[in-house]
Amino acid sequence: MSHAIPESDLAEALLRQAPRRDTYTGWQNWRTSRRSFVPAPKLSLAEWKALSPRERSLYDLHRTATHVHLPLQETPMSLKVSRLVNRRLRNNALKTRPSTRAGVMVTGWGYQGKTETVCEVAAAFEDAWLALHDHLNPNTVDGVRDLHAPVAYVQTPVTAKPKGTCQAILNFFGAENRRLTLPQLIRQVADSLADHGTQALILDDITRLRMHRADDQDTLDLIRALMSMNVTLVLVGVDILGSGLLRQGHWDATTRQWVMPPSTHTRVHGLEATQTERRFDLVELDRFRYTTPDQIAAFHDHLAGLEDSLRLLKAEPGLLTAGTMPEYLMRRTDGVVGLLERLIEDGCQEAMDKGKETLDEDLLDEIILSLDDPDRDPQAGEIPSIPGSSTPRTPRKAARNTVLDDRGPATADR
């Protein structure tokens, strides 16, 4: 096929299974291959017609894969998150004093790119850390052959409790964790993080940890204990301020950080060496807005990046950025990156199936956005409201009176 990558390479790209990042092997596979996808070349309609039937079929398959692998683009919102997470990971990793490492909380609603942004920053940090140490654990113990895992990514279980979260962390390393009590699990987590040279621990969907009365103290103690393990704790979740995880915290206007007070116990399951406050930077990954000139320009730039990645045969310049299309896309998606990509992805497939080979508002009107995802928890706000849908965002169960809570400065529209 003269205008595409070799069939063997194409088959490898299309048949490769998406790795699970919540295991050491899966994370390494994703980290090392995250930029390996080769998009389909751009062909004109005349060039496509000149291909043989087999070549057309392969090319159509390749451009479909291109549309579902739209590149992760930097936005003003994600840049703010990336800078903070990268700074905290880099600075904490270079600390040698036995001081507590400040953590990071990344909040925002579902489908706004929190996980992908954090994982990309963490993967780039791991690339640099491994290169710095020649891919060896600088703190390894003689005679031990533990895997070197500078970053551990953990998906909080949907029905999460402190024990289940500890087990998910141990599952990342493939460590045995059955029939252990919570104090034993926390101790084993600490040992695993130290043995594997882990510098950063990412807990995704942390707000799945329900703050029910029976588990409140265990949940807060778990967070304090994790911060005592000489790793940078990165918590990613939906509406962290409203989840109750910061219920006992307070906003320090001097350091501009959220402060978690020391545990009420002398030690947190054997790990609290001193009554030290635990500090978190809280940053919000917001959706696109369309009010100020800068916000409008940022959205147009994002659409231009998406447009350049599309492989429709009759697409004209300005496909997503000209006329009323930007306003239409904002209205359909409310500026949520994940909804925008889903709409464009499904619209491209519809345009190919119908032979239209371009996008317009009439075609996109036929696309009904559906976000049924068994891996996401609607009750935790992980599935956003879809503009025009009659189904509202699912409220949290067992809502708590938060009138007297000190929430610090507002995070929206900063």
Tell me the pTM: 0.83
Final residue of a structural domain among 259, 284, 309: 284
Mean pLDDT over the full length of the chain: 83
Domain count, the chain: 3
* pLDDT above 70 (res 396): no
**pLDDT computed for residue 411 by the predictor:** 46
pLDDT beyond 50 at 31: yes
Q: What proportion of the chain, given as a percentage, has pLDDT over 70?
A: 78
- Both 86 and 158 in a single domain? yes
- Condensed to tens digits (0 to 9), the pLDDT of residues 137-159 reads 777 665 555 689 999 999 998 87
Residue 274 forms part of a structural domain: yes
Q: Is residue 407 in some structural domain?
A: no
Determine what percent of the chain is predicted with pLDDT higher than 90.
51
Q: Is residue 333 part of a domain?
A: yes
The last residue of a domain, from among 243, 265, 284: 284
Q: Are residues 161 and 252 in the same domain?
A: yes
Pair (106, 251) in one structural domain: yes
Q: Do 231 and 355 have their domain in common? A: no
* Confidence (pLDDT) at 230: 87
Q: Where is the domain boundary, 284, 317, 340?
A: 284
Q: Is 307 part of a structural domain of the chain?
A: yes
**Claim to verify: residue 158 and residue 246 sit in the same structural domain:** yes
115 and 233 co-located in one domain: yes
Range of the domain at 311: 289-396
Of residues 224 and 286, more confidently modeled: 286
What's the pLDDT at 299?
A: 97
| Least confident segment among 166-175, 339-348, 378-387 | 378-387
> Do 172 and 252 have their domain in common?
yes
Is the domain of 277 the same as that of 357?
no
Q: Does any domain span residue 405? A: no
Residue 414, domain member (yes or no): no
Give the tens place of pLDDT for each residue, 279-332. 889 999 999 999 999 999 999 999 999 999 999 999 999 999 999 999 999 999
What are the tens digits of pLDDT across the range 360-387?
999 999 998 876 665 666 655 566 667 7
Task: Say whether both 43 and 164 belong to one domain.
Answer: no
**Does 412 reside within a domain?**
no
Residues 184, 275: one domain? yes
Q: Which pLDDT score is estimated for 45?
A: 95
* Residue 26 counted as domain residue: no
Contact 347, 329 (CB under 8 A): no
Give the up-direction half-sphere exposure of residue 194: CA atoms within 13 A in the CB hemisphere: 12
* The pLDDT of residue 349: 96
- In this structure, what CATH number is given to the domain that contains residue 166? 3.40.50.300
Is there a single domain that holds both residue 320 and residue 238?
no
My answer on whether 231 and 298 are in the same domain is: no
Would the pLDDT of 30 be above 90? yes
- In this predicted model, what pLDDT tens digit does every residue of 119-142 receive, in sequence order? 999 999 999 999 987 777 777 665
Per-residue pLDDT, averaged over 356-363, amounts to: 96
